[in-house]
Amino acid sequence: MKLGMFMHPIHDFRRGYHTLLNEDMDVIRCADAVGFDEVWLGEHFALPSEPIQSPLMLMAALIPETERIKLCTGVICLPYQHPAIVAGQVAQFDHMSKGRFMFGIGPGATPPDFEMFKLLDEDRMAMIEESIDMILGIWSSDPPYEFHGKYWDFVIRDQVIPDIGVGAMGKPYQSPHPPIMLPAMSRGSSSIRLAARRDWHSISANFVPPEVLTEHWGHWCDEKRKHGLPLAEDKWRAGRTLFVAETDAEAEAYLRHPECAMRWYFHYIIKLTTAGGFVHMLKTDPDMPDEDVTIDYCLDNIVIAGSPRTVADRLAAFRDETGPFETLVTSHHDWVHRDVWTRHMELMTSEMMPRLRANVGWRDEAAD
C-alpha cells in the first residue's frame, strides 16, 4: 500500500506568495525525504490561496532535489489551453523526470478561472475528452498531423521537413505515455465513470464524507464490468484529510487551536463551495442545511486525527467501508506550525502506514 500527498495547495494567502511557493517546495522535499511515494500538485490561475499557476514548472525545479517520489499534476486543467501546448510540455517534463511522473488531468473547479477563460457555459468534461484524445493522437503519431474537433484544431501538414527534424512533436519518456489520472469529487460523479472506462487512474477527494467514496468505488466497479475491464484496484486512490500526532490528546488540541491550518483549509473550502453552489459535496446528509456545514462540522465528520495507532485503525475501518484502495492520498495544509506538520509527515510514514498495512493484511493481499 502506497502513500501519496495531494496539494491543491490551500494556504492563507495573507502569508505572501513568495513564502507560499517556497514552503510548497519544502513540503515536497520533506515528503521525498520521509518516504511518500507520490505528490499531486494543483493548477489555478486566479486564486491567491491556491497559488500554483504551473505545477510542471515548480516540480521541474525539484527533479534534481528529490530522489524517488513521483511528481504528478493534480491536475492540469485541459480546457484552459490548447492540447498541443499540453502535449509538448508534458512530454518534456516526462523526459526531464525520467518517467517519475503521472499526468493528472481535469476540467478545473474554480469559477474565477472559468470566467477568465470564458468557460462558465462550456461543457468542460467534453473538452477534457477532446483534448486528451488530441494529446494522445499527437504522442502516438508522426507528422503530418491533422486533428479537428469542436473546441480545437491542430494541423501541421505543409511545414514538415523530416530529415532535419522540422514539424514533429516530442513524445513522452514513458511508453506509450505517462499514466493518466482524473479525480472525482461529488456524489454521482461522471469523472469516476470516465476514468474507469478509459482505464485511467482516479483519486476520490479528501474533503468529502466517506459514503461518497463508497459510491465512487461502486461506480468504478460498475463501469469496469460494463466494459469488460479488470477492476484495477491499484488505479483507484482514496483521498483523506489526516492529522497524525504523538497522542490523541495532542491531535485534538491542535484541531481546536484557533491557528490550526485545517481550520483555514475548511473555512476556505466552505466559503468557495458555497459561493460556487456546490457546498453539498461536504454534506454527510444531502438534505442538511448549508449553514450547518461549519468548520467544526468538517473537523468532526471528515478529518481523521489522532496518534499513529488511532489513525491507522480508523483508516482500516474506512477502507472496509469504502473499498480496497491500494494508495492512500492525504491532503496538504499550511505548515502552521512547521514543526507540527513535519512531525505529522514523519509519523505518517514511519508509524502509521506500517500499522495500516498490517491492519488490512496488506502482505497477505499482495501475496494473493
- Reply yes or no on whether the pLDDT at 364 is more than 60: no
Mean pLDDT of 179-186: 97
The pLDDT assigned to 246 comes to 98
Query: CB–CB of 242/303 below 8 Å?
Result: yes
Helix runs in the chain, H state only: 17-34, 55-62, 83-96, 111-116, 124-139, 190-197, 210-226, 248-256, 261-276, 295-301, 308-322, 338-347, 353-359, 362-367
Give 32-36's long-range contacts (Cβ < 8 A, gap of 24+). Answer: 32/66, 32/67, 32/68, 32/69, 34/345, 34/346, 34/348, 34/349, 34/350, 35/3, 35/349, 35/350, 36/3, 36/4, 36/5, 36/69, 36/345, 36/348, 36/349
Measured CA to CA, the distance from residue 230 to residue 209 in angstroms comes to 27
The pLDDT assigned to 368 comes to 32
Q: Taking the mean position of all CA atoms in its chain, how far away is CA 64?
A: 22
The pLDDT assigned to 229 comes to 97
- Reply yes or no on whether the pLDDT at 366 is more than 70: no
- Reply yes or no on whether the pLDDT at 153 is more than 50: yes
The one-letter amino acid at 11: H
- Reply yes or no on whether the pLDDT at 252 is more than 50: yes
The pLDDT assigned to 109 comes to 87
- Reply yes or no on whether the pLDDT at 363 is more than 60: no
**Position 362 confidence tier, pLDDT thresholds 50, 70, 90:** confident
From the list 204, 195, 193, the residue with the least C-alpha distance to 237 is 204
Measured CA to CA, the distance from residue 356 to residue 341 in angstroms comes to 20
Measured CA to CA, the distance from residue 220 to residue 216 in angstroms comes to 6
Mean pLDDT of 139-151: 97
- Reply yes or no on whether the pLDDT at 367 is more than 80: no
State what percent of residues in the chain have pLDDT above 70: 98
Q: What digits encode the pLDDT tens for the residues 167-178?
A: 999 999 999 999
Query: CB–CB of 344/244 below 8 Å?
Result: yes
The set of cell numbers assigned to 169 is 512533436
Mean pLDDT of 161-166: 96
Mean pLDDT of 249-263: 96
Task: Give the sign of the dihedral formed by CA 311, CA 313, CA 318, CA 323.
Answer: positive
Mean pLDDT of 244-250: 98
| Domain made up of 2-75+182-246+307-367: CATH architecture | Alpha-Beta Barrel (3.20)
The pLDDT assigned to 336 comes to 87
The pLDDT assigned to 337 comes to 87
The residue assigned the cell 495573507 is: 14
Mean pLDDT of 203-210: 96
Domains of the chain, by residue range, sit at 2-75+182-246+307-367
Measured CA to CA, the distance from residue 281 to residue 235 in angstroms comes to 23
The pLDDT assigned to 10 comes to 95
Mean pLDDT of 67-73: 98
Q: Taking the mean position of all CA atoms in its chain, how far away is CA 57?
A: 17
